[in-house]
Amino acid sequence: MDCQSRTRTLQVFDTELSADTVEWCPIPEWSHIVACGTYQLQKSDDTTAEECTAPSRIGRLYLFHCNTQRSFSPPLTETQRIDTPAILDLKWCHVPISEHPLLGMATAGGEIKLYKLTEPKKGTCVLECELSTVLGPDRLALSLDWSTGRGESNDVRVVSSDSTGSLTVLSLGEASLTAECQWKAHDFEAWISAFSYWDTQVIYSGGDDCKLKGWDLRMGPTFPTFTSKRHTMGVCSIHSNPHREHILATGSYDENVLIWDGRNMKQPLSETAVGGGVWRLKWHPNHEHLLLAACMHNDFHILHCQQAIDGQDAPCPILASYILHNSLAYGADWSRLPLSYSAPPSPQEPPKTSVGLSESGGHLRIQYESPTASFDTSLEDDSGRYVPEPESSAPEPPTLSVKDSESLSCLLATCSFYDHMLHVWRWDWTPEEKQEAPVPAHSS
């Protein structure tokens, strides 16, 4: 059985400031709500060396309402924008708190802020700042994750990582956000922190020291339960699979996605090269084997991970790629809104052209890979266009399982940094039965 896979752009929105995180609300009653966060570094041109201070980092939080029923109108409608310190990460709590969705925000001011989604009048939703706490002085909050990934509402906590290499676990009370513990976890920036959704006493973290670590809060955070150096560059994305116990996905500046079994962190189940640093990974909200990857210089990809999580030691084939952003691919998330398979036709989207190193001399340019000024070099041609490195050969197509026998349509949102763009797009996948040989016509 073969398959057909197609991506189609539904809307493009200019966020004005550099966009780096986008999140759909995971709670069914509010699944039409999506938030996007931005980050802008401001430098003063007229400041003398003596007066020079840390650059100003500003941000903006956007809130949108999505309506997929309007066939000939853009699905997103902006309902609110809030100027904030620069935003590094956004995550919705997976369950309502006091009957309201909560959105967590990690800022360049070292704060974790919680916004409550309210409906002041029917059909209109807005965010109100409910709680906030400062992780510590002279640090940027880089990531956050909720302990509620499997929809369990008891003992709601937040874990955050910051630019000093520290992790902080916060407990959510009725009117407070309190630090339970904080510890030094990495030598440099701790880019990412995440709960194991199956055992929320277990936390994973990744840092610019190229290390992936595990922590068990029952044992205290003095020593990690494991330290892996399997990634060869900074570890910047981790996501626990909410459908399959023990399964973990990690991504790194080394341009590889690794799938792990949490019971054996000495060796990953699979390794897949995706051609760009992996800033964010998101498991599909309903399908255990689908993984969305934001790959910085190499766009957004949907990976088929069934063989890997079944322990077959195979790379994860790429089912679909979304290539229409023109800048660093940072924010990405699946929507839970249902879509019918049929959809209005869209114009043919132009293919993305690549210039191989043999076709163009090119020259190196510093490319800032993260808002906090970690950088890498990239190749560009004489016109200033990014020249990607030669791609490796495509993996073999996946062996289709029973769960793949029906058509699938998904709504996604992705955002890119320097061009400050938010895209909403759909992915349609359907199996295609091999056509039967035509019956020869009878001669007269």
Task: Return the structure tokens found at 257.
Answer: 């996605």
In sequence order, the β-bridge partners of residue 192 are: 206
Domains and CATH numbers, the chain: 2-44+55-346+358-432 (2.130.10.10)
DSSP class per residue in 23-82: EE--SGGGTTEEEEEE-EEE--SS--TTT--PPEEEEEEEEEEE-TT-TTS-SEEEEEEE
Helix (H, G, I), strand (E, B) or coil at 164: coil
Q: Are 427 and 3 in contact (CB under 8 A)?
A: no
Q: Are 388 and 297 in contact (CB under 8 A)?
A: yes
User: H/E element holding 195?
Assistant: strand 192-196
Task: Return the structure tokens found at 367.
Answer: 């490319």
The Cα 157–Cα 284 span in angstroms is: 22
Model-level pTM?
A: 0.85
Give residue 292's Cα distance to chain centre: 7
Neighbours of 224 (CB within 10 A): 18
What is the tally of helices (H) and strands (E) in the chain? 1, 32
The pLDDT tens digits along the chain (444 residues) read 457 899 999 999 999 999 999 999 999 999 999 999 999 998 766 555 445 566 799 999 999 999 988 777 899 999 999 999 999 999 999 999 999 999 999 999 999 999 999 998 887 899 999 999 999 999 999 999 999 999 988 889 999 999 999 999 999 988 889 999 999 999 999 999 999 999 999 999 999 999 999 999 999 998 999 999 999 999 999 999 999 999 999 999 999 999 999 999 999 999 999 999 999 999 999 999 999 999 999 999 999 999 999 999 899 999 999 999 999 999 999 999 988 644 444 433 433 333 232 333 333 333 334 555 434 333 444 444 444 433 333 344 444 453 555 789 999 999 999 999 999 999 999 876 543 444 444 443
